[in-house]
Protein backbone atom coordinates (compact mmCIF):
# COMPACT_ATOMS: atom_id res chain seq x y z
CA UNK A 1 0.00 0.00 0.00
CA UNK A 2 1.47 3.34 -1.04
CA UNK A 3 1.82 5.69 1.95
CA UNK A 4 -0.34 8.83 1.78
CA UNK A 5 1.42 11.86 3.31
CA UNK A 6 -1.96 13.48 4.12
CA UNK A 7 -3.23 10.44 5.99
CA UNK A 8 -3.85 10.32 9.73
CA UNK A 9 -1.74 7.16 9.85
CA UNK A 10 1.20 6.36 7.60
CA UNK A 11 3.48 3.33 7.95
CA UNK A 12 6.13 2.36 5.44
CA UNK A 13 8.22 -0.78 5.07
CA UNK A 14 7.81 -2.02 8.63
CA UNK A 15 9.84 -5.10 9.56
CA UNK A 16 9.84 -7.08 12.77
CA UNK A 17 11.60 -10.33 13.65
CA UNK A 18 11.09 -12.18 16.91
CA UNK A 19 13.84 -14.34 18.43
CA UNK A 20 13.76 -18.07 17.93
CA UNK A 21 11.90 -20.10 20.51
CA UNK A 22 12.99 -23.52 21.75
CA UNK A 23 15.77 -23.81 19.22
CA UNK A 24 13.62 -22.91 16.21
CA UNK A 25 14.38 -20.26 13.57
CA UNK A 26 13.59 -16.57 14.16
CA UNK A 27 10.02 -15.55 13.28
CA UNK A 28 9.68 -12.82 10.64
CA UNK A 29 6.40 -11.23 11.77
CA UNK A 30 6.55 -8.21 9.44
CA UNK A 31 8.39 -8.14 6.12
CA UNK A 32 8.09 -4.65 4.68
CA UNK A 33 4.47 -3.88 5.54
CA UNK A 34 3.09 -0.49 4.48
CA UNK A 35 -0.34 0.97 5.24
CA UNK A 36 -2.06 4.36 5.40
CA UNK A 37 -5.43 5.51 6.74
CA UNK A 38 -7.11 8.85 6.00
CA UNK A 39 -9.29 10.71 8.49
CA UNK A 40 -12.88 9.52 8.48
CA UNK A 41 -12.10 6.21 6.79
CA UNK A 42 -11.78 2.59 7.87
CA UNK A 43 -8.95 0.42 6.58
CA UNK A 44 -9.14 -3.30 7.35
CA UNK A 45 -6.08 -5.50 7.62
CA UNK A 46 -7.45 -8.88 6.60
CA UNK A 47 -5.51 -12.08 7.14
CA UNK A 48 -5.18 -15.28 9.07
CA UNK A 49 -3.92 -15.49 12.63
CA UNK A 50 -0.16 -14.98 12.53
CA UNK A 51 -0.16 -13.00 9.28
CA UNK A 52 1.21 -9.90 11.02
CA UNK A 53 -1.92 -7.88 11.80
CA UNK A 54 -1.55 -7.70 15.57
CA UNK A 55 2.19 -7.04 15.34
CA UNK A 56 1.41 -4.05 13.11
CA UNK A 57 -1.03 -2.70 15.69
CA UNK A 58 1.48 -3.19 18.50
CA UNK A 59 4.10 -1.18 16.63
CA UNK A 60 1.72 1.62 15.64
CA UNK A 61 0.39 1.90 19.21
CA UNK A 62 3.93 1.95 20.70
CA UNK A 63 3.58 -1.44 22.39
CA UNK A 64 6.46 -2.80 20.28
CA UNK A 65 9.29 -1.34 18.21
CA UNK A 66 9.89 -2.13 14.56
CA UNK A 67 13.31 -3.38 13.50
CA UNK A 68 13.15 -1.01 10.53
CA UNK A 69 10.69 1.15 8.62
CA UNK A 70 8.89 4.35 9.56
CA UNK A 71 5.50 5.19 11.02
CA UNK A 72 3.60 8.35 11.89
CA UNK A 73 0.27 8.41 13.69
CA UNK A 74 -1.65 11.69 13.87
CA UNK A 75 1.46 13.32 12.45
CA UNK A 76 3.64 12.03 15.31
CA UNK A 77 6.64 9.77 14.77
CA UNK A 78 5.98 6.52 16.61
CA UNK A 79 9.58 5.83 17.56
CA UNK A 80 10.57 9.42 18.45
CA UNK A 81 7.53 10.47 20.48
CA UNK A 82 5.67 7.41 21.78
CA UNK A 83 4.02 9.40 24.59
CA UNK A 84 2.58 11.84 22.07
CA UNK A 85 1.20 8.95 20.02
CA UNK A 86 -0.47 7.39 23.08
CA UNK A 87 -2.39 10.59 23.77
CA UNK A 88 -3.50 10.88 20.13
CA UNK A 89 -4.83 7.34 19.66
CA UNK A 90 -7.45 5.00 21.01
CA UNK A 91 -6.90 1.25 21.23
CA UNK A 92 -9.42 -1.55 21.53
CA UNK A 93 -7.33 -4.69 21.86
CA UNK A 94 -8.40 -8.31 21.72
CA UNK A 95 -8.44 -8.45 25.53
CA UNK A 96 -10.83 -6.26 27.48
CA UNK A 97 -9.36 -3.08 28.96
CA UNK A 98 -12.11 -2.46 31.51
CA UNK A 99 -11.94 -3.11 35.26
CA UNK A 100 -14.56 -5.82 35.95
CA UNK A 101 -15.01 -4.60 39.54
CA UNK A 102 -15.83 -1.02 38.47
CA UNK A 103 -19.06 0.19 36.90
CA UNK A 104 -19.27 1.19 33.27
CA UNK A 105 -19.37 4.86 34.26
CA UNK A 106 -16.40 4.50 36.62
CA UNK A 107 -14.35 2.81 33.91
CA UNK A 108 -14.96 5.65 31.49
CA UNK A 109 -14.33 8.45 33.99
CA UNK A 110 -11.05 6.83 35.03
CA UNK A 111 -9.98 6.39 31.40
CA UNK A 112 -10.75 10.05 30.75
CA UNK A 113 -8.79 11.20 33.79
CA UNK A 114 -5.80 9.11 32.72
CA UNK A 115 -5.91 10.83 29.34
CA UNK A 116 -5.83 14.26 31.00
CA UNK A 117 -9.50 15.24 31.06
CA UNK A 118 -10.77 17.21 34.02
CA UNK A 119 -13.17 15.42 36.36
CA UNK A 120 -16.20 17.27 34.98
CA UNK A 121 -15.08 16.74 31.37
CA UNK A 122 -14.50 13.03 32.01
CA UNK A 123 -17.94 12.66 33.54
CA UNK A 124 -19.57 14.51 30.66
CA UNK A 125 -17.76 12.45 28.05
CA UNK A 126 -18.62 9.23 29.91
CA UNK A 127 -22.32 10.12 29.90
CA UNK A 128 -22.17 10.99 26.20
CA UNK A 129 -20.52 7.71 25.23
CA UNK A 130 -22.73 5.57 27.46
CA UNK A 131 -25.79 7.05 25.75
CA UNK A 132 -24.30 6.79 22.29
CA UNK A 133 -23.37 3.14 22.69
CA UNK A 134 -26.68 2.21 24.31
CA UNK A 135 -25.11 1.54 27.71
CA UNK A 136 -26.77 4.30 29.73
CA UNK A 137 -29.12 1.90 31.50
CA UNK A 138 -26.13 -0.22 32.56
CA UNK A 139 -23.88 2.69 33.55
CA UNK A 140 -24.12 1.88 37.26
CA UNK A 141 -23.59 -1.86 36.89
CA UNK A 142 -20.25 -3.57 37.43
CA UNK A 143 -18.51 -4.34 34.15
CA UNK A 144 -18.25 -8.01 35.12
CA UNK A 145 -22.04 -8.27 34.77
CA UNK A 146 -22.03 -7.06 31.15
CA UNK A 147 -22.77 -9.40 28.25
CA UNK A 148 -20.07 -9.97 25.65
CA UNK A 149 -21.52 -7.37 23.31
CA UNK A 150 -21.91 -4.80 26.10
CA UNK A 151 -18.35 -5.41 27.29
CA UNK A 152 -16.97 -4.79 23.80
CA UNK A 153 -19.01 -1.58 23.51
CA UNK A 154 -17.50 -0.45 26.82
CA UNK A 155 -14.02 -1.23 25.47
CA UNK A 156 -14.75 0.92 22.40
CA UNK A 157 -16.03 3.73 24.63
CA UNK A 158 -12.81 3.58 26.68
CA UNK A 159 -10.81 3.88 23.47
CA UNK A 160 -12.83 6.91 22.40
CA UNK A 161 -13.10 8.80 25.67
CA UNK A 162 -10.41 11.37 24.77
CA UNK A 163 -11.58 11.85 21.15
CA UNK A 164 -8.58 10.21 19.48
CA UNK A 165 -7.64 11.10 15.92
CA UNK A 166 -6.83 7.47 15.18
CA UNK A 167 -8.61 4.43 16.60
CA UNK A 168 -7.14 0.92 16.48
CA UNK A 169 -9.60 -1.97 16.61
CA UNK A 170 -7.78 -5.29 16.97
CA UNK A 171 -10.26 -8.11 16.24
CA UNK A 172 -13.06 -6.13 17.95
CA UNK A 173 -15.87 -8.66 17.38
CA UNK A 174 -14.09 -11.94 18.09
CA UNK A 175 -16.28 -14.13 20.27
CA UNK A 176 -19.45 -12.11 19.78
CA UNK A 177 -22.68 -13.70 18.62
CA UNK A 178 -24.03 -12.59 15.20
CA UNK A 179 -26.49 -10.08 16.68
CA UNK A 180 -23.86 -8.42 18.89
CA UNK A 181 -21.39 -8.41 16.00
CA UNK A 182 -23.88 -6.65 13.71
CA UNK A 183 -24.56 -4.04 16.41
CA UNK A 184 -20.84 -3.43 16.82
CA UNK A 185 -20.42 -3.02 13.05
CA UNK A 186 -23.11 -0.35 13.07
CA UNK A 187 -21.39 1.55 15.88
CA UNK A 188 -17.98 1.39 14.20
CA UNK A 189 -19.43 2.73 10.95
CA UNK A 190 -21.09 5.63 12.76
CA UNK A 191 -17.89 6.49 14.62
CA UNK A 192 -15.91 6.87 11.43
CA UNK A 193 -18.57 8.96 9.73
CA UNK A 194 -19.67 11.16 12.63
CA UNK A 195 -16.35 11.94 14.30
CA UNK A 196 -14.08 11.69 11.24
CA UNK A 197 -11.93 9.22 13.15
CA UNK A 198 -9.33 7.28 11.17
CA UNK A 199 -9.83 3.61 12.02
CA UNK A 200 -7.41 0.74 11.47
CA UNK A 201 -9.31 -2.50 11.88
CA UNK A 202 -7.70 -5.93 12.05
CA UNK A 203 -9.98 -8.86 11.41
CA UNK A 204 -10.15 -12.41 10.18
CA UNK A 205 -13.84 -12.10 9.30
CA UNK A 206 -14.36 -11.64 5.56
CA UNK A 207 -17.86 -10.23 6.03
CA UNK A 208 -16.59 -7.71 8.58
CA UNK A 209 -13.96 -6.36 6.19
CA UNK A 210 -16.39 -6.32 3.25
CA UNK A 211 -19.12 -4.52 5.16
CA UNK A 212 -17.13 -2.01 7.22
CA UNK A 213 -13.95 -1.09 5.39
CA UNK A 214 -13.48 1.73 2.91
CA UNK A 215 -10.31 -0.08 1.89
CA UNK A 216 -9.05 -3.59 2.54
CA UNK A 217 -5.41 -4.67 2.74
CA UNK A 218 -4.84 -8.42 2.61
CA UNK A 219 -1.85 -9.35 4.75
CA UNK A 220 0.17 -12.51 4.26
CA UNK A 221 3.55 -13.44 5.70
CA UNK A 222 4.03 -9.99 7.19
CA UNK A 223 3.32 -7.87 4.13
CA UNK A 224 0.38 -6.38 2.23
CA UNK A 225 -0.10 -8.47 -0.90
CA UNK A 226 -3.00 -6.46 -2.36
CA UNK A 227 -5.15 -3.50 -1.32
CA UNK A 228 -8.14 -1.54 -2.57
CA UNK A 229 -11.81 -1.00 -1.90
CA UNK A 230 -13.78 -4.24 -1.48
CA UNK A 231 -15.56 -3.57 -4.79
CA UNK A 232 -12.29 -2.84 -6.60
CA UNK A 233 -10.72 -6.05 -5.37
CA UNK A 234 -13.73 -8.16 -6.31
CA UNK A 235 -14.17 -6.50 -9.71
CA UNK A 236 -10.65 -7.57 -10.70
CA UNK A 237 -11.98 -11.13 -10.80
CA UNK A 238 -14.11 -11.41 -13.92
CA UNK A 239 -16.86 -13.97 -14.21
CA UNK A 240 -18.12 -16.38 -11.57
CA UNK A 241 -16.75 -18.77 -9.00
CA UNK A 242 -17.77 -22.39 -9.53
CA UNK A 243 -17.45 -24.49 -6.39
CA UNK A 244 -17.86 -28.26 -6.43
CA UNK A 245 -18.18 -30.39 -3.31
CA UNK A 246 -17.17 -33.99 -3.97
CA UNK A 247 -18.49 -37.04 -2.16
CA UNK A 248 -14.88 -38.07 -1.59
CA UNK A 249 -11.47 -36.68 -2.44
CA UNK A 250 -10.02 -37.51 -5.84
CA UNK A 251 -6.38 -36.86 -6.65
CA UNK A 252 -7.04 -36.33 -10.35
CA UNK A 253 -10.09 -34.06 -9.97
CA UNK A 254 -8.14 -30.84 -10.60
CA UNK A 255 -6.65 -32.24 -13.81
CA UNK A 256 -10.15 -33.25 -14.96
CA UNK A 257 -11.55 -29.74 -14.48
CA UNK A 258 -8.54 -28.10 -16.09
CA UNK A 259 -9.59 -29.80 -19.33
CA UNK A 260 -13.11 -28.32 -19.22
CA UNK A 261 -13.42 -25.45 -21.75
CA UNK A 262 -14.01 -22.06 -20.19
CA UNK A 263 -12.67 -22.94 -16.73
CA UNK A 264 -9.57 -21.45 -15.17
CA UNK A 265 -7.77 -21.07 -11.84
CA UNK A 266 -8.78 -24.56 -10.73
CA UNK A 267 -7.79 -25.43 -7.16
CA UNK A 268 -8.67 -28.06 -4.57
CA UNK A 269 -9.03 -28.10 -0.80
CA UNK A 270 -9.87 -31.59 0.40
CA UNK A 271 -13.17 -32.51 -1.21
CA UNK A 272 -13.85 -28.95 -2.41
CA UNK A 273 -12.92 -27.80 -5.92
CA UNK A 274 -12.93 -24.16 -7.02
CA UNK A 275 -12.63 -22.65 -10.48
CA UNK A 276 -13.29 -19.42 -12.34
CA UNK A 277 -15.59 -19.18 -15.36
CA UNK A 278 -16.88 -16.30 -17.48
CA UNK A 279 -20.37 -17.74 -17.05
CA UNK A 280 -20.69 -20.18 -14.18
CA UNK A 281 -24.16 -21.33 -15.17
CA UNK A 282 -22.98 -22.27 -18.65
CA UNK A 283 -19.91 -24.04 -17.27
CA UNK A 284 -21.77 -26.28 -14.79
CA UNK A 285 -23.03 -28.92 -17.31
CA UNK A 286 -19.53 -29.41 -18.66
CA UNK A 287 -18.11 -29.65 -15.15
CA UNK A 288 -20.61 -32.30 -14.10
CA UNK A 289 -20.15 -34.29 -17.32
CA UNK A 290 -16.35 -34.29 -17.03
CA UNK A 291 -16.40 -35.43 -13.41
CA UNK A 292 -19.02 -38.10 -14.11
CA UNK A 293 -17.01 -39.49 -17.03
CA UNK A 294 -13.99 -39.72 -14.72
CA UNK A 295 -15.95 -41.61 -12.07
CA UNK A 296 -15.85 -38.74 -9.56
CA UNK A 297 -19.05 -38.40 -7.52
CA UNK A 298 -20.37 -34.88 -6.89
CA UNK A 299 -22.27 -33.88 -3.75
CA UNK A 300 -23.14 -30.29 -4.78
CA UNK A 301 -22.28 -27.47 -7.16
CA UNK A 302 -22.66 -23.75 -6.47
CA UNK A 303 -22.08 -20.66 -8.62
CA UNK A 304 -21.41 -17.26 -7.07
CA UNK A 305 -20.16 -13.82 -7.96
CA UNK A 306 -16.61 -12.94 -6.84
CA UNK A 307 -16.10 -12.50 -3.07
CA UNK A 308 -13.24 -11.40 -0.86
CA UNK A 309 -12.55 -15.09 -0.32
CA UNK A 310 -11.91 -15.41 -4.07
CA UNK A 311 -9.63 -12.36 -3.90
CA UNK A 312 -7.75 -14.00 -1.03
CA UNK A 313 -7.32 -17.24 -2.99
CA UNK A 314 -6.06 -15.31 -6.01
CA UNK A 315 -3.36 -13.44 -4.10
CA UNK A 316 -2.45 -15.84 -1.28
CA UNK A 317 -3.07 -19.17 -2.98
CA UNK A 318 -5.16 -20.70 -0.21
CA UNK A 319 -8.77 -20.43 0.91
CA UNK A 320 -9.35 -17.90 3.65
CA UNK A 321 -11.43 -20.26 5.80
CA UNK A 322 -8.46 -22.62 6.00
CA UNK A 323 -6.06 -19.81 6.83
CA UNK A 324 -8.25 -18.20 9.48
CA UNK A 325 -8.44 -21.49 11.32
CA UNK A 326 -4.64 -21.95 11.25
Q: Are 241 and 85 in contact (CB under 8 A)?
A: no
Could you report the per-residue pLDDT of 133-191, keeping only the tens digit for each? 889 999 999 999 999 889 999 999 999 999 999 999 988 888 888 888 888 888 888 88
Beta bridge partners of 61: none
In percent, how much of the chain has pLDDT > 70? Answer: 96
Contact in structure between 79 and 61 (CB atoms under 8 Å): no
Phi and psi, residue 191, nearest 5°: -60, -45
C-beta neighbour count of 324 within 10 angstroms: 17
The tens digit of pLDDT for each residue in 217-234 reads 999 999 999 999 999 999
Can you point out the beta strands (E) in the chain? 9-18, 27-37, 42-46, 68-73, 76-77, 89-92, 166-170, 198-203, 215-220, 223-228, 240-246, 263-269, 272-277, 298-304
**What is the domain partition of the chain in residue ranges?**
9-229, 238-305
Give the span between the Cα atoms of 76 and 190, in whole angstroms: 26
What pLDDT does 76 receive? 96
CA angle 243, 245, 246 (to 5 degrees): 135
Burial class, 299, CB count within 10 angstroms (exposed 0-12 / middle 13-18 / buried 19+): exposed
What number of other Cβ atoms are within 10 A of residue 178's Cβ?
A: 9
pLDDT of residue 325: 46
Tens of pLDDT, residue by residue over 112-125, are 999 999 999 999 99
pLDDT-based confidence at residue 326 (cuts at 50, 70, 90) = very low
Decide if pLDDT at 7 tops 90.
no
Fold category of 9-229 in CATH: Rossmann fold (3.40.50)
Question: What pLDDT score was predicted for residue 37?
Answer: 96
The Cα–Cα gap between 321 and 6 comes to 35
pLDDT digits (tens, 9 = 90+) for 40-74: 999 999 988 889 999 999 999 999 999 999 999 99
Crossing angle, helix 148-160 and helix 104-114, to 10 degrees? Answer: 20
| Residue scoring higher pLDDT (317 or 48) | 48
76-77: strand order across its sheet:
27-37, 9-18, 68-73, 76-77
Question: Given a cut of 60, is residue 299 above it in pLDDT?
Answer: yes
* CATH classification number, 238-305, choose in 3.40.109.10, 3.30.70.2470, 3.10.129.10, 1.10.3720.10: 3.30.70.2470
**In whole numbers, what is the pLDDT of the chain averaged over residues?**
90
Distance separating alpha carbons of residues 318 and 89, to the nearest angstrom: 34
What span, in angstroms and rounded, lies between the C-alpha atoms of 308 and 47? 11
Q: How far apart are CA 188 and CA 191, in angstroms?
A: 5
Residues 48 and 320: beta-carbon distance below 8 Å:
yes
pLDDT band at 291 (very low <50, low <70, confident <90, very high): very high
Q: What is the pLDDT of residue 63?
A: 94
Please provide the DSSP assignment of 102-137 as one string.
Answer: SBHHHHHHHHHHHTT--HHHHHHHHHHHHHHTT-GG
Q: Could you tell me the CA-to-CA distances from 108 to 93, 94, 114, 243, 312 in Å, in that order?
A: 16, 18, 10, 48, 39
- Do the Cβ atoms of 260 and 282 come closer than 8 Å? no
Amino acid sequence: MSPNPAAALVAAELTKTYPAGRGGPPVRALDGLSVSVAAGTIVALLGRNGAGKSTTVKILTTLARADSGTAEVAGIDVSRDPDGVRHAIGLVSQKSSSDPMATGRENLVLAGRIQGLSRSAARGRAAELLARLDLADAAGRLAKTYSGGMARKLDVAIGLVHRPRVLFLDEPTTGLDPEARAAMWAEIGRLSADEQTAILLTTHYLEEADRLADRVAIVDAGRVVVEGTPDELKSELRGDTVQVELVAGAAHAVAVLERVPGLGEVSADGTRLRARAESGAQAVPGVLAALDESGIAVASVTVARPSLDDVYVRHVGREFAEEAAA
